[in-house]
Structures are given as C-alpha cells and as structure tokens.
Amino acid sequence: MILRVVALATLGCLMAHAAKPNLLRLGPQGVNFWKLDQLHSSNSQQLPVDGLFLQDSSETPLQLPHELNNKPEFTAQWFEQPLDHFGSSTNDTFMQRYWVNKRHYQPGSSVVFLLDGGETSGEDRIPFLDTGIVDILARATGGLGVVLEHRYYGESIATKNLTTDSLRFLNNAQSAADSANFMANVQFSGIDENLTAPGTPWIYYGGSYAGARAAHMRVLYPDLVYGAIASSAVTHAAIINWEYMDIIRRYADPTCSLHLQKAIETIDTILDHRVLSAPLKALFGVHGLNHDVDFVSLIESPLGSWQAKVWDPQVGSTTFDEFCAALNQPLGHKKPNMTRLEYGHPDRMVSFPGGLKVDIAIVNYGAWIKKHVVSRCPEGFSHEECFGTFDDTHYQDTSLSEIWRLWLFQVCTEWGYFTTAPPDPTVPRIISKRIDLEYESKICRQAYDPGEHFTVPPLPNVTVVNELGDFDIAMDRLAIIDGEVDPWRPDTPHSDYANDREDTMLRPFKIIPNGVHHYDEYGLQNPDDEPPEIRKIHEEMVAFVQHWLRDWKADSQEI
C-alpha cells in the first residue's frame, strides 16, 4: 500500500513553517515556541524575519522567492520507497520528493550531486539547488544537481499519524537506505542516460544533521557514494551538549558575554533565595509562570539566534547582535557613560518595588524578553498556557500537523544533544544551572507514549550514531568542512575533543574562519559578490571535487 497522504488545507497551513531543530533544541520550551509560531501563522499574522522563531539548524530557513518556488525546472518529482527496508513488518511504501537542477548537465561525462534535505521540508533547500553549493559544483563539472527530501519531512510523509509506533521507521538506518535505493534506481525525467550509481559518480552533500548523514553514507555505502562533503557534520552524538552554549560564550562580544554570565549568576542567586523571585519574573513579563526552570528556559531563547547568523544578509539574522547591544543600553536618567562601568557598579543598579535591585543588564534583558518573546503569548492565554512545560497533555497530540514530533523523536531515540548548563559548576555559563538533563529530556517521556511495536528508550542510543566513526570518521573522498565559531563544532570532527588531521585533496579537512553553521552551503548568483573567505572555500571545494572526478575518469579508462 502506498502511504501518500493528501493534506487538508488546514494541515497545509499548519505545516507552512517547518519545525526547525535549532528551535527544538530548547526541548519542551521549544515546542511551546513552535506552537505559538503556528498559532500566529494560522491567524495570518506576519512572522518576524529574524526574530525568535528564525532558526538556523542547521538551519536558517531561506526565504524562498515566489518566482523560484514556481520555476518549472524545480518542479517536485517523486520516487517510491519501502517504508521498511530491512524487515517484513510492513509492505507499505511512500513517495519521497526530490528536485533536479539540469541546467549544467553534460551527457556522457556526468556527475550527480545529491543534497540531503535533512530534518526539514526539502523546499527549504531549493535555494542551494539554484545558487548555492549544488549549483556551484554542478556548474564547475557539468553535473546534475538533486535535492532529496528526508523521509517523514515536508511531503515525504510515510505515515497517517505521528504516534510512537508510526515513527519507529524514522531512524538513521532507514533514511540512509532511502538514499541508497534512490541513487541505485532513480531515472531522471527528460534524461535518456542512465545516471544511477555505481555506474555514475555521485557526490553526497549535507549540512548539520544532513552533514553527518553525508559522512555516514560514504561509510555505509562506499560503492554507491563516490564522494561526500560533510559540512558542519555532527558526527558525534551526545546525551548532554553543554558545549553548544559555551561556544557562544567564548566567541560572542566579550562585554556581552560577560554581562550574560553575570546576569545569569544573579538570576540563579535570586531564584535560590526565593524572596525576590516574583518581582524578578515580573521584570521579564512572566509573573504568572509557575516553575522557575520554565522561566530560565524561556530567557535562554535569544541565544539560539547565534546559529542563525549567515554571511549573506538576505538570509542571515542579526538578532543575536541586536540582543547583545540591547543588554548594555543606558536607562532613562542613567548617564550614557555608565555603560562603561563594571557589572554591578552602584551607578548601574536599578531598584524596583518589593526590594529587587539589579544591574541594568538584567533590566534590559527583561525588556528584550517581554518585547520579543512574551509578546507572542496571545491575549486571553496565561503565561503557563504559553510557556509552561509540565502539563503532559500539551505534548500528546499525534496528528500530522504536529511536525515538531519528528526531529524530537530522532533526538530522543538516537541523537541526544540536550543543551544543559556545564556539568562542572566552575565553568562559566550563559544559561541557568537549572537547565539540566532531567528538564531538557522530559519531552521524550511526555510526548512519546510506549507503543505496541516500539518504545522510546530512557535515553537516546547515541551508540548507533557514534559507531559509524564519531570524531574520527574518515575515508578517501570524504571532505570535512566546519565553521570556526559554529556552536555545533564541538560535535564535529573539528571539535576540541577530536584529533587534528591533515587537509589533503583526497581527504579535505577545512575550517572557515569566523564561520558559523554550514557557511559553504550558501552562494550568490554572482560568485564575485561573495565574501573572500566564502569564495575561497567554494574554490577549494570545486578543486577537490574536480580532483576526485579525474580519478574516476582514470579508473574508468583502465577498466
């Protein structure tokens, strides 16, 4: 039976904005933000371009121009896949969506570049097919470009609901088998030449989670994947991922970072002593929020906008820098030069009724949260309804519209990445000590009831990811590319925990100075308009791919 679900109009509206993994990194609080986002979207209210709900994931969602979305050359096509590649539990199949760039294709000496859609709608990746890395590499080699949507995401829907049992086929092994089956059997419309692997060289590209998949595909299916480029590839899965916030702390503007650290220390101390916790929450506009841990999770939200930075201002976010600038703004009667004083200086302190007295950084922090986050809570809704996370019923809708359930299911079963405070209390931190594994992982127990065929484990089985190579994953024709200030770098082969390695043409190992998340994936119509460091990495990528392909041609001639 083919599971091709035709979504109702209301479902289409709800799914218009994908549940981005950087947002869901906030665990149950992230789901609250997603629900508010959908509520505003369904009410046809304009979403902020670079506000709270813009993620990067991997993944800064590119604003897809209307004319690009309707280009005939990027019309969606479909490939039938087994729901279960490895067992006899079901004979169901589903239709997997893909898009093709044929504008540079040269018959007879071709190469196929497959971009893994990762944990979002494949439509979000079409710009990479048009001006980004896929088009860059295809143009340089006369190749064909493809974006392949990940099972369960976008319209590649493999089930009628999102219960635990229905999601049991959403795992690394099944999704890798999808890609392998596609490469080995797809026939491209309008192309007479057989371009299937292994008879044609396929270069697999992915960024972030999809970057890990690119590396894994080179390891798991070396006969089909001739080469792979793993950008910001999180090849190390971790239960606790405190290093994510530590990268931001270390590389943010020093004044901003210091104010964040001091503000969080102050907030934790106030919450410890309880007496002034109510006026503190009121300062942030959430006096009705019952649990302190929900409060500190809520105020963590602007930090995720660091990952949304992109060198191209058309798709990048400036939210983090704006937030940082707001922290140290002078207040009313306060003198402008007081911003140069140390945190906690008497001239920086502001008193409130009830005995609360805090530095202006905390006052500004509260004002920013009220304006950009709490304001999203609709009139008639309580703070607890908008931002509370301890009501299990809030997370148990399993209809197809609840697409936040997809990536979090993968988090809870195989990937982890629960972003907590540092386990070592002596390590400086920019999020509260109350954000711990218990709080961040409780969404796994709240959302995924045990099924008849599958039960979510108490903690994710990260071994199934790490046994594929972890920090040391390496093969010939596997390129590793990372950003220097990417908060996900601690989970990549460029992690401080990983061994250094040589950068060669056969095994490229490159770091983009001041780069954040998969910076190489973006491109411009005119490459000369790209920043020097981006032009450089693109030129290096073209060079090593051309080197790989010369080896392919040499091997083919020998045969």
Q: Which amino acid is at 378?
A: P
CA distance 444 to 409: 7
> Would you call 5 helix, strand, or coil by DSSP?
coil
CA distance 71 to 396: 39
CA distance 471 to 238: 11
Exactly one of 58, 208, 301, 401 is catalytic; name it: 208
Question: Per this entry, what is the length of the chain?
Answer: 559
Burial tier of 550 (Cβ tally within 10 Å: 0-12, 13-18, 19+): exposed
Token code pair at residue 211: 């970057």
- Structural contact between residues 374 and 51, judged by C-beta atoms closer than 8 angstroms: no
* DSSP structural state of residue 386: H
- DSSP of 225-245: -SEEEEES---S-EEE-THHH
Task: Characterize the bridge pairing of strands 238-240 and 349-351.
Answer: unpaired
The answer to whether the Cα torsion of 20, 22, 28, 32 is positive or negative is: negative
- Rama region for 110: left / alpha / beta (φ>0; ψ in -120 to 50; rest): beta
For 456, residues 6+ apart whose C-beta sits below 8 A from its C-beta are 164, 409, 412, 413, 444, 445, 448, 450
Q: Give the residue among 89, 82, 88 at the shortest CA–CA distance from 3.
A: 82
Active site residue 486: yes
Q: Which amino acid is at 324?
A: C
Active site residue 44: no
Token code pair at residue 153: 């995401």
Exactly one of 37, 486, 491, 520 is catalytic; name it: 486
Neighbours of 457 (CB within 10 A): 11
Reduce the secondary structure of 153-191 to three states and give it as a string.
Answer: CCCCCCCCCCCCCHHHHCCHHHHHHHHHHHHHHCCCCCC
- Structural contact between residues 101 and 113, judged by C-beta atoms closer than 8 angstroms: no
Rounded to 10 degrees, the C-alpha dihedral 137/147/111/101 comes to -70
Which residues are catalytically annotated? 208, 486
